[in-house]
Structure 1
Amino acid sequence: MTGQIAPTARDSTSFRPQRPAEISADAAELGSLLATGGDERIALDRISRRNRYGVSPEPTIDEIYFSSSTASSTSSKGFDAALDARRRLANGADAADWFETLRARIRRAYGTPDCETVLAPSGTETEYLALALALDAVPGPLTNLVVAPEETGRGVLLAARGAHFLPTAPFRRAAAPGGRLPGLETADIEVEHVEIRDASGRLRLPQSVDDDALRAATAALAKGRSVLVHHLAVSKTGQSGLDLAAIERIRALAPERVTVIADCCQLRSTPRQVRALLDRGFLVAITGSKFAGGPPFCGALLIPASFTARLRGASVPRGLWAHSSPFDWPATLRERLGLHSEADANFGLGLRWSAALVEIERFLAVPSEIAQQAQARFKAEALALVGACPSLAAIVDGRAREDFADTIVPIKARGVGGAFLDDAELLRIKNALLAPLPDGPAALQRAMHVGQPVTIGTSSALRVCMSAPMISDFADRLHGGETFDAAFAPIVGDLGLLFEKLRQIMARQWRGDA
């Protein structure tokens, strides 16, 4: 099992909620294990036992979480499932079989019967997996065509060119951000990116986005390059791009030289949507740590059989083993790609997936119409609360979609002069939501979590999000005989507390009290 890595200042919060209440020795050990097998983002502060996003690996049921676009603390059900898995491993369960079972459960939930699943410590690291597989499957130099990197992850553009995106990695303590992974130092990899918003933050017309991508791909293919194309299913702010028809036009130019990866890392896509992408032959990246509500930092790459057949079987770049271990991979691909690593297994990652899968399976048992009704009610309640606060503005998308993109409500906040606040200013507000409110009522002393600020044009937005466990809890109350309004009341109550605390924080800032 991998050890902890000391946190750095990047993305860190200036305030962290207090350490969770005392827990059993077994639970404390599990909490520590859940924070291993990742980079510095997952490392725990020694005093608060929180990571840099202010969330705990242990359940914190006294806090309010609307932060599933970034990270949430482990749910009680998820923690119990991980604790059970930890005990079974300690009692001699076979680790290889356990990891294979985790992959099979992911495949049953979102995959197709013949797809393969590779686990990854984070969504960003699925980019390394896709890059390594694309380099193995297609000939010649590679152009990596990324969509809306500001809407996906800060490290994606670096990972897309095969470079370290942080100074640490799950199986490496020191790296130079921006430097290539060992084995890719001389690889001919170019990165192009297409934005879905203009410089002011307004969404571009889908046709313009598609046209830009088609031009970039056409130019690369004309130079004899292969292309790895990204399809963004649901972004940090609930947006998408490229259109699937545009991707098929790109593939038609040179089918043998085009690989497609669908970014479903928010996991706000339905299983039907994910399977449709696999049926098209796309690689699909997912995580169990956003909408699904699992512990922070558990990703996976789904690989359709049609793509596996294209692999030539060359060894993957040795630098990948700073981020991946053999048991993350199915046996068929381990043998085919000659996988080797100093660490056979990332147990922290496996335990995080154990916790996430319990919530995923629970959510997928909720009737789809109930889940969609819960999403619609959540969006309506959040928008009403935003509308009642003059210093806030929601970014509204009126498109009708099958997925759960509407469980993300991006919110901008105005400062004293009326201008929208930037990342740093919104981060201070996010931290204030985690802290007790000075001289405020008891209900507003609770820590309240929202999604990290994301840059949108010249300003930024916080994100108020509904998670799959929230929908599952609502469905349980509904199934238990409560009316719709009564079953939804706890969510409405927590939203009300969040926006009241946010309103008071904003008012104090306008008065100059904070």
Structure 2
Amino acid sequence: MMLDAHDWSMTTEQILSSCGDSRHTVGPDGTNRYGNRYAPEPGLLSFGSCTSSTISDVAFEAADRLHGWVRALDPEAVEQSVDDLYERVRTELVANIAMTSASALDVVVCPSGTDAELVPLLVALAEGRRVTTVLVGASEAGSGTAHAARGHHFDAVTPSGRGVEPGTPVDGDVADRVGLERVTIRDGAGVPREEKEIDDEVRAIVGAAAARGEHVLLHIIAHSKTGVHAPSLELVDALVHAHPGQVDVVIDAAQGRFSRQGLLRSLQRGYMVMVTGSKFFGGPPFAGAVLVPHERAGGRAVPAEVPEPFGDYLVRAMLPRTWTGARASVAPGLALGVLMRWWAALAEIRDYYSVPATLRLEVLRTFQSVVPEIVAGTRHLDLSTVPPPNRCRDATRLLESNTTVFPFTCRTDDGHLLGMEPLRALARAVRYGSVDDERLRPDLAALRCELGQPVELAGGGESFAVLRVALGGRDIIRACVTPSLGSTFAERREHLARDVALTLEKVDALVALAHTDALEGAR
């Protein structure tokens, strides 16, 4: 993490992939494990924003400019200047996504959305009691979420570069003060559970922890990997009022699929919010942040210090300047990879919100309407259950008004559902193209597109795997403002629909060839 600013042999692309866990490891082909590049790739479609995306031209140019600025600094000025740049990230992020002043919040910048889970835990522990973390829908939040939410390592490599054992405590003393309760969001058939059923389970867990005198850290998942939201904000508000000063709330909005009004209302309620710049907004993988209101639902304390082992995940510049004690306890460091990824993401965020809201909404509704129609016309794909859009201004969930992530199963001609590994192979085949496969139409063979990585939906003793097609902010920007996609807004939306159709048609065709090398023995 302590990247030497004077190692000028590192390229912008290399710095972008630094200061993170093993998900950033770049292979010989120049991509990470999800097929993302840290340099633009012309001609690549991206419907995988629910996982991560290859960096765009706009974002890369922003990162490259930042790299040039830092290289031009006097060596004595680098540390302070980088700290100032982190402060600019905090200010711009809050202004763009929360439409409020950064002075009303503390913002902690993190290497990824998973690392961000450590921050609400440290905040809750600052209240001085044992903490029970109530984690809703962990299996659809991220593979390392359950580990990080209880203060454990979630990957074999930390952002500092140190090797660790996943699932072991970051700090033993912290781990001894934390308990974890999980709440599933799907039933035994993989169907989303009823909101009331989830709410009742959460209410019982929180009530029991509060009765023991513990501090509760309640997670709301504002958009899971497959679009589920839980528990209801109505319940959360009731629990906060029923147990004053004992319930801290953190909203996992890492997917970035939220309304700004809903986000602002949640912050005003005193709820912490975790966000990323690398999913819906389309910044480079990965970049996280935690928005911490000064007046939280669970109290006002902030960490007086950060235990030394957490220095594998945080450097001083990532912490807000108001956290003087915590900053003093953490080692200085540049963490340029984290700063650069957020700088690039902010370029995408500014572009997204510069497009009139009415145009953005039209593109969102286009995607929402065409995907079910396209999937219905395939032989081997079936949509998984997703919650219906919620257009109520007083909704009890923090969510978007349109569905932008569609999970789907893939079934071969003999009725066999493809599992996780075959779906990963399928996603790779779609990502890298199949130009040598003469059994595919030339346009399908040439198509390259990022999809959302497979997710296993489990409940009871049953489980099945889904791929995901997702609309991201960058797709919306392209449909609104890119002349090469059409001379009118309607033509550009039609172009988007054709891209989605071609992508899903290729997936369907590859499933039909599941016994071939395209899926490397999927069956």
TM-score scaled by structure 2? 0.89
Larger displacement relative to structure 2 (490-499 or 407-416): 490-499
1:467 match: 472
Measured in 1, the distance between the counterparts of 2:309 and 2:214 equals 23
Contact 1:183 1:318 in 2 (8 A): no
Do 1:478 and 1:484's aligned partners in 2 also have CA atoms closer than 8 Å? no
Question: What is the one-letter code of the residue matched to 2:67?
Answer: R
Q: What SS does the aligned partner of 1:332 have?
A: coil
Which residue matches 1:318?
A: 308
Does 2:205 align with 1:219? Answer: no
Task: Please state how far the C-alpha of 1:183 moved relative to its aligned partner.
Answer: 5.2
2:268 alignment partner AA: D
Aligned ranges 1:137-286 → 2 under 5 Å: 138-182=127-171, 184=173, 187-286=176-275
Distance 1:230 1:185, change over 3 A: closer
Conserved in 1, the CA contact under 8 Å of 2:374 and 2:504?
Answer: yes
Question: How do residues 123-142 of structure 1 correspond to structure 2 at under 5 angstroms?
Answer: 123-136=113-126, 138-142=127-131
How far did 1:320 drift? 1.5
Query: Partner amino acid for 2:57?
Result: S
Q: Secondary structure at the match of 1:472?
A: helix
Report matched runs for 1:40-119 at 5 Å.
Answer: 40-45=22-27, 47-92=28-73, 94-111=81-98, 112-113=100-101, 114-119=104-109
Query: Residues 489, 61 of structure 1: CA spacing in aligned structure 2 closer, same or farther, 3 A cutoff?
Result: farther
Deviations 1:458-480 (A, max 9, x none): 21111101110111121114899
Deviation at 1:84, TM superposition (A): 0.9
Structure-2 separation of matches of 1:246 and 1:392: 36
1:375-419 CA distance string (max 9 Å, x none): 111122222211111211112432334616511111111134314
Q: Does 1:37 align with 2:19?
A: yes
1:389 aligns with 2:378: yes
Query: What SS does the aligned partner of 1:109 have?
Result: helix
What count of residue pairs does the alignment treat as equivalent? 490
Deviation at 1:503, TM superposition (A): 2.0
Query: CA offsets, 1:232-289, max 9 Å, x none?
Result: 1111111101101111222123221111000100001122111111001001000000
Residue 337 in 1 paired to residue 362 in 2?
no
CA distance in 1, matches of 2:454, 2:172: 35
Does structure 2 retain, via aligned residues, the 8 Å contact 1:158–1:165?
Answer: yes
Superposed CA deviations along residues 101-140 of structure 1, whole A, max 9, x for unmatched, are: 111100101233211211011111111011011101x232
User: Quick one: which amino acid aligns to residue 125 of structure 2?
Assistant: L
The answer on whether the counterparts of 2:3 and 2:333 sit within 8 Å (CA) in structure 1 is no
Read off the aligned partner of 2:147 and give its amino acid letter.
L
Amino acid at match of 2:235: A
Whole-Å Cα distance in 2 between the matches of residues 106 and 208 of structure 1?
Answer: 35
Distance in 2, Cα, partners of 1:60 & 1:52: 16
Partner SS, residue 277 of structure 1: helix
1:411-452 Cα shifts (integer Å, max 9, x gaps): 111134314322122112112212432113443223221000
The one-letter code sitting in structure 1 at the alignment partner of 2:476 is I
Q: Give the letter aligned to residue 275 of structure 2.
A: I
1:287 aligned onto 2:258: no
CA distance in 2, matches of 1:219, 1:178: 26
SS in 1 for 2:403: helix
Asked if the contact 1:237–1:408 (Cα under 8 Å) also holds between the matched residues in 2, the reply is yes
Give the direction of change, closer, same or farther, for the CA distance of 1:510–1:405 in structure 2 (3 Å limit). farther
- Tell me if 1:425 matches 2:422: yes
Deviation at 1:86, TM superposition (A): 1.1
Q: 1:121 aligns with which of 107, 111, 123?
A: 111
Aligned to 1:506: 511
Tell me the distance in 1 between the aligned counterparts of 2:373 and 2:512: 19
TM-score normalised according to structure 1 size: 0.90
Structure 2 Cα separation of the partners of residues 398 and 178 of structure 1: 35
Offset of 1:492 from its aligned partner?
2.3
Q: Return closer, same or farther for 1:513/1:253 CA change in 2, 3 Å cut-off.
A: closer
- What RMSD in Å do the two structures reach over aligned CA positions? 2.3
Unaligned runs of 5+ in 1: 5-25
Q: 1:332 to 1:512 in 2, by over 3 A?
A: closer
For residues 513 and 464 of structure 1, what CA distance do their matches in structure 2 show?
20
Structure 2 unpaired stretches of 5+: 392-398
Describe the shift of the 1:309–1:223 C-alpha distance in structure 2 as closer, same or farther (beyond 3 A): closer
Determine if contact 1:158/1:178 at 8 Å carries over to the other structure: yes
Asked if the contact 1:229/1:261 (under 8 Å) is kept, the reply is: yes
- Say if 2:110 and 2:289, in contact at 8 Å, map to a contact too: yes
Q: Distance in 2 between matches of 1:286 and 1:312?
A: 19
Secondary structure of 1:331 counterpart:
coil
Alpha-carbon spacing, 1:495–1:123, altered in 2? closer, same or farther (3 Å)? same
CA contact (8 A) 1:167 1:175 kept: yes
CA distance in 2, matches of 1:317, 1:294: 30
**1:8 match:** none
1:156: Cα distance to partner? 1.0
Q: 2:394 aligns to what?
A: none
Moved more, 260-269 or 55-64: 55-64
CA contact 2:40–2:60 (8 Å) conserved in 1: yes
| Cα pair distance change 1:244/1:486, threshold 3 Å | same
The residue number in structure 1 matching 2:448 is 447
CA contact (8 A) 2:150 2:175 kept: no
Deviations 1:25-71 (A, max 9, x none): x99810111000101111211x2111111110001122121100001
- Structure 2 distance, partners of 1:75, 1:155, is 26
Moved more, 36-45 or 335-344: 335-344
Hey, what's the Cα distance between the residues in 1 that align with 2:518 and 2:150?
46
Check whether the contact 1:124–1:156 (CA below 8 A) recurs between aligned residues. Answer: yes
SS at 2:342 equivalent? helix
Amino acid of the residue matched to residue 162 of structure 2? R
Q: 2:140–2:455: 8 Å Cα contact kept in structure 1?
A: yes
**1:91 Cα offset (Å):** 1.5
- Contact conserved, 2:248 with 2:299, CA < 8 A, in 1? no
Give the counterpart letter for 2:408 in structure 1.
Answer: I
Are 2:490 and 1:485 aligned? yes
- Relative distance call for 1:370 and 1:184 in structure 2 (3 A) is farther
Distance of aligned partners of 1:463 and 1:3 in 2 relative to their CA distance in 1, 3 Å threshold: farther
Cα shift at 1:314: 2.8
